[in-house]
Amino acid sequence: MKKILVLCTGNSCRSQIAEGYLRHFANNKAEIYSAGIETHGVNPKAIETMKEDDIDISSHTSNNINEYMDIDFDYVITVCDNAKESCPYFPTKAQKFHYNFPDPAKATGTDEEIKAQFRTVREMIKQYAQTFIKTNI
């Protein structure tokens, strides 16, 4: 079974959303993990936004990359430029992928405008995850 790691800065939004969709589209055909260079906790708006699409990430935890150093990943996906540039040396033969998604946690405006930005990023990640699984798993 293929092992996929999604890596972001804080493991609070983008990587959590990606983990949720990769799990959904892989349908138990891959092991999916997510981590951050730092841990900021799972963003409540990310949980709420995913729930709108019937994906429950409320039990996800925010994990540090160092927790996964002993896992031999097949794929590592960085979902922000900071993670790609700041990732510590990661001993793996994994094939690396990168897509710099906007950070919805930095959204500003009214509550509705912030929710709209979360939804936009969610849809971008959903499309990416679906294509990734179709192509690689």
Active site residues: 8, 80, 87
Are 9 and 80 contacting, i.e. CB atoms less than 8 angstroms apart? yes
- Residue 36, beta-bridge partner list: 8, 64
Contacting residues for 78 by C-beta, under 8 A, at least 6 apart: 7, 8, 84, 87, 96, 97, 98, 99
Question: Both tokens of residue 21?
Answer: 């969709």
